[in-house]
Amino acid sequence: MVPHHAALQGRTAKIDNLTGLKGKWNEKEGFIESLSPRADVKVAVDGWTMSPFMGLGTWAAFTKGSHTEAMVMGDTVLFEDEVNPAMSTAFDNGLSVTALHNHFFFDHPKVYFMHIEGQARPSNSRPPCAKFTTRSRRSRR
């Protein structure tokens, strides 16, 4: 019997192409994890400049849904002026926003973390997360 999660194995390149994030298949856990640090804006916390890999990473994990082609959960790093456009894009494309919060005090610019989840149906030519990650990255360009 083929494991439930094997349906996404070998689809890392397709998900990379759709989301614009670089993914990696996790054989043990059965999901594709896509990561992207926010390196486009310098962030300082209490005057100390943070490296993008020290808490400024956006990620999304994809696995086979129980009744859908794929499901996604993730956390994206946003700046204050990006929250509303990113949240609207998430809602407009069938994603749920499960949290919006910060991690730091005295950060400049203000950094927010938006958690998302959703499912892709076979009829979707482009999954909701693809539109969301594209919109999130476009904010600073």
pLDDT, tens digit, 9 for 90 and up, residues 125-138: 455 565 565 555 55
Distance CA 62, CA 113 (A): 19
pTM reported for the whole predicted model: 0.77
- Per the structure, the count of domains in the chain is 1
- pLDDT tens digits, one per residue of 104-128: 999 999 999 999 998 875 445 455 5
Query: Which residue range(s) make up the domain with 64?
Result: 4-138
- pLDDT tens digits, one per residue of 2-38: 444 555 656 777 777 777 777 888 888 888 888 888 8
Distance CA 138, CA 60 (A): 17
Distance CA 37, CA 30 (A): 23
**First vs last Cα of the chain: how many Å apart?**
46
- Report residue 137 as tokens: 């990255």
Total Cβ atoms within 10 A of residue 34: 23
